[in-house]
Structure formats: C-alpha cells, structure tokens
Amino acid sequence: MLLIACPHCGPRDEAEFVCGGQSHIARPGPPEQVGDAAWARYLFERDNPKGPHAERWLHRHGCGQWFNLLRDTRTHAILAVYGLTEKRPDLP
Amino acid sequence: MTRYSLWTLLREGLSGHRGWTQAWRDPVPAASYDVIIVGGGGHGLATAYYLAKNHGITRVAVLERGWIGQGNSGRNTTVIRSNYFLPESAAFYEFALQLYERSADALNFNTMVSQRGLITLAHSRHDLEAARRWVNAMHLNGIDSEMLSTAEIARLVPFLDCSPAARYPVHGGFMQRRGGIARHDAVVWGYARAADALGVDILQNCEVTGFVFERGRAVGVQTTRGTIRAGRIGLAAAGHQSVLADLAGFRLPLVTYALQAFVSEPLKPWLDKVVISPATGVYASQSDKGEIVLGGALDLYPSYAQRGNLPVAEQVMAGFLELFPTLSRARFLRQWAGMTDVVHDSSPIIGPSPVEGIWLNCGWGTGGFKAIPAGGWTFAHCLATQAPHPLVVPFGLDRFATGALIDEAAASGIAH
C-alpha cells in the first residue's frame, strides 16, 4: 500500500490516484520529419527500469492534478515528489 | 532418466522408491553452445525442448537466474484456453491448447491437463451482446464455444449467485469446453526433464549480467557463472525482458506490472469449471488440492516487486464474494504476484530483436502460461531457422512501426 504525498493535498491513500506511466517523454517533431520508427519509439517504447522510475500520477479522487513521482519499482519506495513541469531530481 | 509409467511406479512401489533417478542434471556451464536461452520458465524450457526435438539442436543451454519455474511459470493461475477474438491470436493459442492436450504423452510427465470447461459470464445486456460477438468470432476461427443461458450456468456452477437480486446479475455467458487448467509446476518440470533427456543443459542460479558483442553481433553472455558464448541467443525472461534488453542496448515496448493471485484453504469439491467474470475483474477455479484459485486485474503501476498491493486484493475479493457469497467465511492461505510484461496491444512479441544474434519471446502480459507449448515451438523455429514461424509472423517487433497491431482485448480475459 502506497502513501502518496500529493503536492496539493498532502499524504493520501494510493486508491485515490492513477498512474499515468513514464514521465518526461518528449514528443518528436516537427511531424513531417518524424519517420515511422521514431514515432513508434515515442508511442510504445518505454524505459521500464528495475529501479528508480520517473512517472506521472493523477490525484483523480482529490485535487484532479497531475504531478511526478520518482519511485523504485523494486521496493515501491517513493524517492521524490515533484511538479509536472519540473526536471527529474538528481538523487545522491 | 527413469521413464515414468505404471510399470515403473509398481516396481518402485514394491522396492521402497529407492530406484528413482534425478529428473534433470545440474551441469557445469560449457564454454559455448549453439543456442542460449535466457529465462528458465515455461517458455524458455519449452523452447529448449523443441529445439532439440523438432530441429535436432541439442547444444542448448537454458540460463535461469534463480531456479526453474521461479518466476511467472510458478505464479500464474494455470488457466489454459484459446477463446481469442482475432484470427492471428486464435490460430496461435489454439495450437498451444492442442499441444497442451497431448503434452502428458509427449513429455512423459503428468501435466494434469484438465479440460473442465471455461465459462465467461455476461453481467448485462451489453456483456451478452459482446459475448455473442466473441462466440461468433471463435466459430469463424474454427474454435469450439457455445452460448449459455442463465439457467444452464446456474446448473453448471451451483454456488454462483444467479439470482435476479445479485449485485452482478448473470444474464448468460459462454463456454469453451476444451478450456480448463493444467498443473503449472508440472509443465515446467515436464519440459525441463524432457529437454534435459535430449541433452539440453539447464543452468540454474546463473544470472545474465551482460552480453558479449563482436562486430555489432551478440555472440555470448556474461553470467554469474562465467562467460558463455553462443551462436544465437533467445530471451524469454517475461517481466525482466526490459532489463535484459537494457543490457543489450535496446528498448522494448513493454511495461512490467504485478498481477496478483490468491488461493483459499482447501475445500471439498465445489467448483469444477473455470469461471471468468470480466465485469467484476475476477476469475476462479478449484485446484486438485481443493484450493480456490483466484485472480484479478493488474496493479496498475510499474513494479518488479513480486508482491501485490492491498487495494487490488480487496477489489478481487469483493468481486469474488459478489459472485460466490457462500464463500464469505473461507480463509485465504496465500497471495502472490507475477511480473507481467504488458504490451499496448496485449499480444506477444516473438521474432528478431534490433540486435543481430538476439531473438525475443516476450510480451505475454497476463496470459503467458496458456501459450507455453506454442511459444516454445515457434520460438525454437525462429532460433533454429533464423526466420519467424508462420504462426508468429504477425507478432514481430516490427508491428509497432508498421501499425499492424493485434489489439486483442480477449488476451487478458478480464478487462484491465
């Protein structure tokens, strides 16, 4: 069970949230210069690391805001909570 | 290796069971093999077996990080079925089911295949329409299935709450009679034993830590038991496939999620069908030991933790009790999670990887167990002939760029 510290609402039960998958994926462009392979990489390929993972979460049953989590996929430990437009924090 | 038969059982029974030999060897890794398969689950072991059996390639090693069957092959709910919607998937999974039907004879191992029938419930008028469409698609694909009325389901599954007052009323459903369950460990052990008998080396406690490249081609693996060279390398590591791909320098369209399952205390014979309820996200069967085996939906955030979260466990139990209220006092003994490698279109990936010398068997998501015989058969064909087997041509990694996805909603069986 995760206790997720929503940046707007404070610590809440994971049942209130939805995970939106990997964060910081830049859409390639301009469109006329993006081939099928690059577009497929953007749409489908994911880091899927065994370890720290930067991911987007939505506080659906709360403030309705998106934010980022840095979470370890081995232990589910939440390493950092940060804004949707902020850079992924460097961990020691 | 002792051949298993009634005669051997009688002989051993009368002589104190002292003559049984080990089922597979524990060999020392050789310096090189024709084919290395990474991942000692059902798919990896079946691949090794069919490489030796169908293609005569016996210089094969299966590398397993822990012990064989430790991952998803030992963490599933043992359901076998071929009730798929699209022709590509139907052809593939029907082949798997037919191989399962013959597996005990072929492997000389009791895989305990029980074709007890698999019932998919419809809980609304719309579910029923979708079920009819599904059944028609199965008929077009040449696969047995039949619609069932509420009364027929009530007769086949007496403890299911089919009353009009049920929270999830049963409007009908459909059944694939040839669907059912098989014993998951027996499938792993059966393939391991049969592959070993044909000369395959099963290397346990042998984790791959890197790949050896020569002129851009993968020619071997670095492991915790030394460097091993190989003509070809097949990756069949399920939830850990992305980790291997990362070591080899490419990315895959996979996300690893935990899928939970649960077993109750052993009960008297109570349920002799597999029941799937897409609307409640629950499926259940009863094992030969009497345990009720339950599964549900994915924990929907990436995880390698091999354990599930509590909200999903609660959701599965709540859905199950709405269907089977008589079991509200039963206790659950165990809970576990497998690490499923989920693809966007819920279809597997079998074929070449972006790196020369490496082939892929992955993307099974929540449905790898039922595919084991066909996954092994077709992957062995890929590794032996360096060309995809006709059944898996549509399941290549290239489909993501071409857009020819096989969007198989029936793959998961329940709505994720």
The answer to whether the Cβ–Cβ distance between A45 and B253 falls below 8 Å is yes
Q: Is B145 helix (H, G, I), strand (E, B) or coil?
A: coil
Q: Which residue does chain A place closest to B345, by CA atoms?
A: A44
Q: Do B118-179+256-343 and B26-109+183-253+345-412 have the same topology in CATH?
A: no
Contact of A50 with chain B, judged by CB distance below 8 Å, is answered with yes
Across the interface, whether the CB atoms of A1 and B403 are under 8 A apart is answered no
Token digits of residue A79: 């390493």
pLDDT, one tens digit for every residue, chain B (416 residues) = 889 999 999 999 999 999 999 999 999 999 999 999 999 999 999 999 999 999 999 999 999 999 999 999 999 999 999 999 999 999 999 999 999 999 999 999 999 999 999 999 999 999 999 999 999 999 999 999 999 999 999 999 999 999 999 999 999 999 999 999 999 999 999 999 999 999 999 999 999 999 999 999 999 999 999 999 999 999 999 999 999 999 999 999 999 999 999 999 999 999 999 999 998 889 999 999 999 999 999 999 999 998 899 999 999 999 999 999 999 999 999 999 999 999 999 999 999 999 999 999 999 999 999 999 999 999 999 999 999 999 999 999 999 999 999 999 877 776 65
Domain B26-109+183-253+345-412: homologous superfamily in CATH: FAD/NAD(P)-binding domain (3.50.50.60)
When scoring A44, A45, A55, A58 by the number of chain B Cβ atoms within 10 A, the one with the most, hence best to mutate, is: A44
Q: How far is B344 from chain A (nearest CA, A)?
A: 7
pLDDT digits (tens, 9 = 90+) for B370-414: 999 999 999 999 999 999 999 999 999 999 999 999 999 877 776
A41, A55, A75: residue with CB nearest B302 = A55
Q: Where are the domains of chain B?
A: 26-109+183-253+345-412, 118-179+256-343
Out of A15, A21, A50, whose CB is closest to B255? A21
User: Residue A53: closest CA among chain B residues belongs to which residue?
Assistant: B302
Please give, rounded to a whole number of angstroms, the shortest distance from the CA of B310 to a CA of chain A. 6
Q: How far apart are CA B31 and CA B269, in angstroms?
A: 51
Q: Do A21 and B252 touch (CB under 8 A)?
A: no
Contact state of A19 with B310 under an 8 Å Cβ cutoff: no
pLDDT of residue A1: 83
- Chain A hits for B303, CB-CB cut-off 8 Å, are 73, 76
Considering chain A, what is the average pLDDT of its residues?
Answer: 96
Residue the block writes with tokens 């290397």: B203
Dihedral, B369, B375, B380, B381 alpha carbons, nearest 10: 170
Pick the residue from chain A with its C-alpha nearest to B314.
A15
Positive or negative, the CA dihedral B128, B133, B137, B140 is: positive
State whether B311 and A40 contact (CB < 8 Å): no
Q: With beta carbons under 8 A apart, name residues in chain B contacting A77.
A: none
Asked whether B77 and B293 are in contact (CB, 8 A), the reply is yes
Distance from CA of A92 to the nearest CA of B (A): 22
Which residues does A63 contact at the CB level (< 8 Å), separation at least 6?
A: A6, A8, A9
Distance between CA atoms of B79 and B270, rounded to whole angstroms? 17
CATH number for the segment(s) B118-179+256-343? 3.30.9.10
Contact partners, residue B9, CB within 8 Å, separation at least 6: none
CB contacts, 8 Å: B246 with chain A = 49
Residues of A in contact with B242 (CB under 8 A): 46-50
Contacts of B254 in chain A (CB under 8 A): 46, 48
Question: In Å, what is the CA distance from B80 to each residue of B113, B115, B179, B295?
Answer: 9, 8, 6, 14
**The pLDDT of residue B2:** 87
Contact yes or no for A46 and B254 at CB 8 A:
yes
- How many residues would you count in chain B? 416
Distance from C-alpha of B81 to C-alpha of B118, rounded to nearest angstrom: 8
Distance of CA B254 to the CA centre of its chain: 17
Please tell me the distance from the alpha carbon of residue A52 to that of residue A81, in angstroms, as a whole number.
12
CB atoms B309 and A1 under 8 Å: yes
Beta carbons of A46 and B255 less than 8 Å apart: yes
Query: Is A18 in the B-facing interface, judged by CB distances under 8 Å?
Result: yes
pTM summary value: 0.96
Nearest Cα of chain A lies from the Cα of B317 at a distance, in angstroms, of: 16
B402: chain A residues, CB-CB within 8 Å: 36
